[in-house]
């Protein structure tokens, strides 16, 4: 199965954003700083995942 870099990036961004959002909502309020943290988590995950290339399949697989 081949997964594109875009699909990996979107999945990583959703996971990072959801994790940051759950942590931020522990007190049932969302501050501006927490919103910025969520946005930076998503953007960081997208950037890092996009920059790392997919592993090339081996010849025997």
CA angle 45, 12, 55 (to 5 degrees): 95
Q: Which of 25, 18, 58, 11 is nearest to 41 (CA)?
A: 18
Eight-state DSSP code of residue 59: T
Q: Given this model, what pLDDT does residue 43 score?
A: 94
Domain ranges of the chain: 5-51
Q: Given this model, what pLDDT does residue 57 score?
A: 72
Q: Given this model, what pLDDT does residue 37 score?
A: 95
pTM here? Answer: 0.77
Q: Mean pLDDT, 10 residues at a time, over the chain (61 residues)?
A: 76 94 93 96 90 74 54
């Amino acid at each position: 199965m081949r997964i594109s870099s875009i699909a990996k990036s979107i999945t990583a961004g959703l996971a990072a954003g959801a994790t940051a959002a759950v942590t931020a909502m522990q007190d049932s309020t969302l501050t501006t700083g927490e919103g910025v943290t969520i946005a930076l988590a998503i953007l960081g995950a997208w950037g890092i995942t996009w920059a790392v290339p997919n592993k090339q399949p081996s010849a025997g697989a």
